[in-house]
Amino acid sequence: MHGIAVIGAGRIGRIHAANAKAHPNLELKYVVDPVAAAANDLAAATGAQVAELDDVLADESIAAAVVASSTDTHLDFSVRAIEAGKAVFCEKPLDLDLGKAKSAQSLLGDAPFLLGFNRRFDPNFRKLHERIRSGEMGALETLHIISHDPAPPPLAYVKVSGGMFKDMTIHDFDMARWLLGEEPVEVYAAAAAIVDPAIGEAGDVDTAKTVLRTQSGRICVISNSRRSGYGYDQRIEAFCSKGLIRAGNVLSSTVESWGEEGARSDALQNFFLDRYAEAYRAEMAHLVDVLDGEAKPLVGYGDGIQALRIAESAMQSHQTAKMVRVDL
Amino acid sequence: MHGIAVIGAGRIGRIHAANAKAHPNLELKYVVDPVAAAANDLAAATGAQVAELDDVLADESIAAAVVASSTDTHLDFSVRAIEAGKAVFCEKPLDLDLGKAKSAQSLLGDAPFLLGFNRRFDPNFRKLHERIRSGEMGALETLHIISHDPAPPPLAYVKVSGGMFKDMTIHDFDMARWLLGEEPVEVYAAAAAIVDPAIGEAGDVDTAKTVLRTQSGRICVISNSRRSGYGYDQRIEAFCSKGLIRAGNVLSSTVESWGEEGARSDALQNFFLDRYAEAYRAEMAHLVDVLDGEAKPLVGYGDGIQALRIAESAMQSHQTAKMVRVDL
Amino acid sequence: MHGIAVIGAGRIGRIHAANAKAHPNLELKYVVDPVAAAANDLAAATGAQVAELDDVLADESIAAAVVASSTDTHLDFSVRAIEAGKAVFCEKPLDLDLGKAKSAQSLLGDAPFLLGFNRRFDPNFRKLHERIRSGEMGALETLHIISHDPAPPPLAYVKVSGGMFKDMTIHDFDMARWLLGEEPVEVYAAAAAIVDPAIGEAGDVDTAKTVLRTQSGRICVISNSRRSGYGYDQRIEAFCSKGLIRAGNVLSSTVESWGEEGARSDALQNFFLDRYAEAYRAEMAHLVDVLDGEAKPLVGYGDGIQALRIAESAMQSHQTAKMVRVDL
Amino acid sequence: MHGIAVIGAGRIGRIHAANAKAHPNLELKYVVDPVAAAANDLAAATGAQVAELDDVLADESIAAAVVASSTDTHLDFSVRAIEAGKAVFCEKPLDLDLGKAKSAQSLLGDAPFLLGFNRRFDPNFRKLHERIRSGEMGALETLHIISHDPAPPPLAYVKVSGGMFKDMTIHDFDMARWLLGEEPVEVYAAAAAIVDPAIGEAGDVDTAKTVLRTQSGRICVISNSRRSGYGYDQRIEAFCSKGLIRAGNVLSSTVESWGEEGARSDALQNFFLDRYAEAYRAEMAHLVDVLDGEAKPLVGYGDGIQALRIAESAMQSHQTAKMVRVDL
């Protein structure tokens, strides 16, 4: 049994708290949030107590802190928790500023730090990763990642998001690195505000096709859109020397209707809370393995830094219409 | 090059004539039909000549006759062609009267007689048959055949059709015999006029679930409906000791639309002219193999008799609500 | 918050206990099991206490008892819990003896009694039910249920199971009743021991095709096998007047490999613990709705009785090779 | 009835000859090929005569010439046929030299010239085109084309092919132009010899991800590989403002095997002769419509020029690692 605290009682904090409550080896003790109502609600639903961060960090029975607060507090809370001797499970991104994230890296030492690139824990992508690694289809040569959101976020969010590459594509950069098994060294991004001109006026893009090339010559294409019109499109195809391995979309149910116009499946799962529900559970189970000393964090601080680096290169490629080399 | 004549210029005669024209080893010489306009049109479209049956049968350059005339003439024309030394490719059913069909059998001798159970030539079902026979999934144990028409035929047709079991299910009885590799000895049929009460008033049924059991104990379920609402539903599942082998429906195209409500495939192929276009081509190619002495007819006269026998037993089971043993 | 106790710490009791622990509105207080080790393990994993049944029933803070003990104790424990004023969530089947189950019915009064026909809570089948009821495809006419287990249970289990119809098909009888929306009045079952002769020697069957007909004339076919060779095959097709609505199998993941021999999907989910994990969660959430007075039990005592009745008729049809009328 | 001649009795000439023979409104009169054996074989299989090109062009009963000879003769034979007053159906590409192809354009006048970009006649892609144009999913925004061959051609072929972009991707450039409905103005190509280093040593590539951007801002990604390991991968996805429309691969049959490891489909159709058999038939039927004055050629000379232009830009982008603007 490990004592655990969740910092941040927003949408993602509530997910992690529910998973912590359901896990047989975790005891969710505290919920921290400056918004009292949010903290109280989450505490009531999980049997945890509302507490201040300092008190949580001072409690020796707490083994790990889940940092699910606003992005600008990720680095600060993580460092404080680690200084207090806790393991940290921090939501992505580390920060919107690559420089700041790099500076903080030295403060972490060897403490267990798990970064919340949740897609690595999705059972479908784990199976995909496993099959690629098994070599059953030969060597991986090229990779296609499709990652389209159902609908754009509010413009207010877009403005503080750090831009589509750091906010959305960053997941795909991490996925690409994990599946390719090596670092991208070249980036070319063709991007535009096709979905909503207001996003373009805010200085951001909502559609991109990004091409990565690795040191050994593998090529990856990432397709992003802030709006699909048909749900959360999350597909990956790995073209290998002997064949293709792919992970498809997840539907709301297996029900189909066959009528005059053809067979209609059920809708795609609409967004990440549904699509990655199992991934969030697995991520929490992985944290327990880390706390038990049975695993090293599958995603660490360095992964966060590297994804930010590629995002900045992609942005630069989009702005210059040239291929950009990624600083390693 | 084999000379060939098509007797009957209706819907199915036109299919066979076009396939004969396209085949590199056949020369379509004659078209026979009492309706002059039909005969002339088909001759014009294929470069064949219109002729009388007697003249066709007297022409020594004719190797085979395709009997695609009305059902009540199948036996008579087939026997006459065989007596004239021609190979015969006769459309199903042999006749609606089992007694008449049995009587004519002795007149055929060893002449090549190919019966038009076209579904045995469908590439999907051939592949299914091949995979079952290969034993890759172990021994066949039970079989499900779904065979639903898109929409009921005109009531006038229903009245002269011989009833659903002889007109429609007869294809499935033949398919069951072919795939099971042995004769059904028991039949139970639960049938009704669910689609259209007028069909019931005409003494027929439009919906049936028929259970067959073979000597060795294999069980087969056939599902029939005169109306699907979604096209021509032609599926088969073979449950074997190590797994399942199945043949699915054929869609009009591979195009899909993904929208808010899910993914919509294109429509099922609507009816047999589309769904079995390839089967009809393969059937004609098989006739050429028979004429070349490279194959025995895959479906013969005896297969037509046996399918009629099972159809009569199914009808009897439906009428008595009891399981009926098939006379072998 | 409702206090709850789980009686029976076996495989299915552990499922219900984990779901109770994870639910925000339940407090799992007690675990009861005559096997001390089982009770202790489950208590440790859930934070519950081990207790005796009498003490549990005497505790006023307990609102509901989950009866997940051995089949022969279902009726007794349920009646005792209800007499103690608790709501009951009882695993299927009620009992193997229809007479005994009927006698106990009068003892229940109006107390909330939820019977564990878990498949009604599967999100896929719920969606199927909803779509059939919506009438979007017209009136339901015929129904196909495929329900094949991956592999036969141990022979020792078979011998005390009450026979395949009461042990396995009973789920399908319930599903048929629920989807058809009316009672079957005729049953015909073609069954055999095809998978394992030893099952036949033990007086049971392992393969069946059962045909049901309802008062209004709907026809349903249920296919059962104790062994599939490819996982847990749980599919339903509802043929309606305007089209087909179907629920397919659930795969272990969305990953596919495309090689020279075609595309290979991931394996089917192997058995009920995986396939119906979500259904068990939804069943527990439904119990909470019942406790909150927001729902009547979706499956009640009478449903258990009726499924047993059909099972007995199917057995009789199998033994007599005749269609049997179900006693209503 | 239109008289027609096929020039070139190789693989693709034989396809066109068989389709001409089978068409009810065409009379295949002549086959031309410098290799006498090839010409004789094809004439025997189709009932046509072997002839010299001059005699064919002098025969007034010939309405159209199918130019299916070697690439370097396409322009010359096409121009001669047009000068003789024939309609021309010419295989792709026009020529490997953009300059030569541009020079010849003025010699064609208004004569019907159909260029053999066969994929536009594939029923799946036609349906895709139709659905995109219908606007049912809103405006087309981005496009993904996957076009992978099963296995690389012989190195000798690679050396004279004009390079992958002109030989293989040229089909995809045409498809992109047709589906996008406007001209690409920017090209970026990330290409390499990943499949076989010998292809790289010969100065060519075998793998490419090419990004096109149109005047109005639509973005298209084309994925090419000379080797798939799993057959002929020909898929297209059109991302529109309200949803996705896609065309999938075509399988050899609908047969699936379900075993312990999952469901295995039949193999993909292996290569273009199978995959586009129906397209070749439809292309010939379109020629008849053109000859009947009922249609303008769907693909003309200008389409051949434009596809060559994009191919040259893609090659240049690959060589310079920069985005290249397409000369319009």
pLDDT of A328 above 80: no
Q: Are strands D255-259 and D262-265 parallel, antiparallel or unpaired?
A: antiparallel
Cα-Cα end-to-end distance for chain C: 40
pLDDT of D102 above 80: yes
* Per-residue pLDDT, C107: 87
Does D156 touch chain A if contact means CB atoms closer than 8 Å?
A: no
Q: Considering only CA atoms, which of C180, C181, C174 is closest in space to residue C119?
A: C174
Instruction: Tell whether pTM > 0.90.
Output: yes
Q: Which residues pair with B114 in a beta bridge?
A: B89
* Per-residue pLDDT, C111: 87
pLDDT of A109 above 90: no
User: Strand D26-32's sheet: what is its strand order?
Assistant: D49-50, D26-32, D2-7, D62-67, D87-91, D113-116
Asked if residue B88 lies in contact with residue B63, where contact means CB atoms within 8 angstroms, the answer is: no
The length of chain D, given as a count of residues = 328
Are B257 and D250 in contact (CB < 8 Å)? no
Name the neighbours of A, counting chains with at least 3 Cβ pairs within 8 A.
Answer: B, C, D
Amino acid found at B218? R
Are B231 and A266 in contact (CB < 8 Å)? no
Q: Taking CB atoms and an 8 Å cutoff, what residues of chain D touch C261?
A: 264, 267
Distances in Å between the Cα of A204 and the Cα atoms of A161, A163, A169, A184 are 9, 6, 13, 23
Distance CA C152, CA C92 (A): 19
pLDDT of B109 above 90: no
Q: Are strands C2-7 and C26-32 parallel, antiparallel or unpaired?
A: parallel
* Per-residue pLDDT, B175: 98
| Closest approach of D228 to chain C, Cα-based (Å) | 9
Distance CA A61, CA B110 (A): 92
Q: Which residues pair with B7 in a beta bridge?
A: B32, B67
pLDDT of B307 above 90: yes
Distances in Å between the Cα of D6 and the Cα atoms of A197, B46, D46, D68 are 53, 20, 11, 7
Q: Considering only CA atoms, which of B170, B194, B173 is closest in space to residue B184?
A: B173
What sign does the dihedral C283-C289-C291-C295 (CA atoms) show?
negative
The partner residue sitting opposite D229, judged by closest CB among A209, A229, A242, is: A242
Q: Are strands D233-240 and B244-247 parallel, antiparallel or unpaired?
A: unpaired
The partner residue sitting opposite B258, judged by closest CB among D46, D243, D258, is: D243
pLDDT in tens, B273-305: 999 999 999 999 999 999 999 999 999 999 999
pLDDT in tens, B169-182: 999 999 999 999 99
From the CB of residue D157, how many other CB atoms can be counted at a distance below 10 Å? 10
Tokens of C250: 């659930």
What is the chain A residue with the closest CA to C136?
Answer: A257
Instruction: Report CA dihedral (B108, B112, B113, B119) to the nearest 10 degrees.
Output: 160
The partner residue sitting opposite B261, judged by closest CB among A258, A259, A267, is: A267
Helix (H/G/I), strand (E/B), else coil: A60: coil
Does B151 touch chain A if contact means CB atoms closer than 8 Å?
A: no
Q: Considering only CA atoms, which of B15, B104, B119 is closest in space to residue B66?
A: B15
Does C133 touch chain A if contact means CB atoms closer than 8 Å?
A: no
Does D293 touch chain B if contact means CB atoms closer than 8 Å?
A: no
* Per-residue pLDDT, C109: 81
What sign does the dihedral C315-C320-C321-C323 (CA atoms) show?
negative
Q: What angle do CA B193, B196, B200 make, to 5 degrees?
A: 45
Are D221 and A213 in contact (CB < 8 Å)? no
B302: Cβ contacts below 8 Å, ≥ 6 apart: B105
pLDDT in tens, B115-171: 999 999 999 999 999 999 999 999 999 999 999 999 999 999 999 999 999 999 999
C68 Ramachandran zone, left/alpha/beta (phi>0; psi -120 to 50):
alpha
* Per-residue pLDDT, B107: 87
What percentage of residues in chain B have a pLDDT greater than 70?
100
Amino acid found at B51? A
Helix axes B36-46, B11-22, angle to 10 degrees: 20
Distances in Å between the Cα of C138 and the Cα atoms of B228, C128, C181, C286 are 11, 14, 14, 29
Tokens of B22: 């396209």
Mean pLDDT of D2-21: 96
- Residue D108 pLDDT class (50, 70, 90 cuts): confident
Q: Tokens 């009926």 identify what position?
A: B324
Distance CA C225, CA C169 (A): 10
| Closest approach of C267 to chain D, Cα-based (Å) | 4
What sign does the dihedral D45-D51-D52-D53 (CA atoms) show?
negative
pLDDT in tens, C193-234: 999 999 999 999 999 999 999 999 999 999 999 999 999 999
Cβ contacts below 8 Å, chain A against chain D, sum to: 98
Asked if residue B154 lies in contact with residue B279, where contact means CB atoms within 8 angstroms, the answer is: no
Distance CA C95, CA C241 (A): 38
- The secondary element (H helix, E strand) that includes residue D223 is strand D219-225
pLDDT of D328 above 90: no
Distance CA A22, CA C262 (A): 41
How far from chain centre, in Å, is Cα D45?
A: 25
* Per-residue pLDDT, B126: 98
Asked if residue C234 lies in contact with residue C275, where contact means CB atoms within 8 angstroms, the answer is: yes
- Residue A327 pLDDT class (50, 70, 90 cuts): confident
* Per-residue pLDDT, B108: 85
pLDDT of B229 above 90: yes
Does A235 touch chain D if contact means CB atoms closer than 8 Å?
A: no
Residues 212 through 231 of chain B touching chain C, CB cutoff 8 Å:
213, 217-219, 221, 223, 225, 227-230
C34: Cβ contacts below 8 Å, ≥ 6 apart: none
- Residue D261 pLDDT class (50, 70, 90 cuts): very high
Does D122 touch chain A if contact means CB atoms closer than 8 Å?
A: no
From the CB of residue D40, how many other CB atoms can be counted at a distance below 10 Å? 14
Asked if residue B125 lies in contact with residue B214, where contact means CB atoms within 8 angstroms, the answer is: no
The length of chain A, given as a count of residues = 328
Distance CA B279, CA B12 (A): 13
Distance CA D201, CA C107 (A): 87
The partner residue sitting opposite A263, judged by closest CB among B229, B260, B265, is: B265
Amino acid found at A264? R
- The secondary element (H helix, E strand) that includes residue D228 is none
Cβ contacts below 8 Å, chain C against chain D, sum to: 51
Q: What angle do CA B34, B35, B41 make, to 5 degrees?
A: 120
Q: Which residues pair with C325 in a beta bridge?
A: C186
- Residue D54 pLDDT class (50, 70, 90 cuts): very high
* Full 3-state SS string of chain B: CEEEEEECCCHHHHHHHHHHHHCCCEEEEEEECCCHHHHHHHHHHHCCEECCHHHHHHCCCEEEEEECCCHHHHHHHHHHHHHCCCEEEEECCCCCCHHHHHHHHHHCCCCCEEEECHHHHCHHHHHHHHHHHHCCCCCEEEEEEEEECCCCCCHHHHHHCCCHHHHCHHHHHHHHHHHHCCCEEEEEEEEECCCCHHHHHCCCCCEEEEEEEECCCCEEEEEEECCCCCCCEEEEEEEECCCEEEECCCECCCEEEEECCEEEECCECCCHHHHCHHHHHHHHHHHHHHHCCCCCCCCCHHHHHHHHHHHHHHHHHHHHCECEECCC
* Per-residue pLDDT, B116: 96
Read off the DSSP letter of residue C83: H
What sign does the dihedral C127-C132-C134-C137 (CA atoms) show?
positive
pLDDT in tens, A253-299: 999 999 999 999 999 998 999 999 999 999 999 999 999 999 999 99
Q: What residues in chain C have per-residue pLDDT under 50?
A: none
pLDDT in tens, C132-150: 999 999 999 999 999 999 9
Distance CA C209, CA C176 (A): 14
Mean pLDDT of B241-261: 97
> b/e map of C35-50 (b: 16 or more CB within 10 Å)?
eeebbebbbebbebeb
The partner residue sitting opposite C192, judged by closest CB among B217, B223, B323, is: B217
Does B323 touch chain C if contact means CB atoms closer than 8 Å?
A: yes
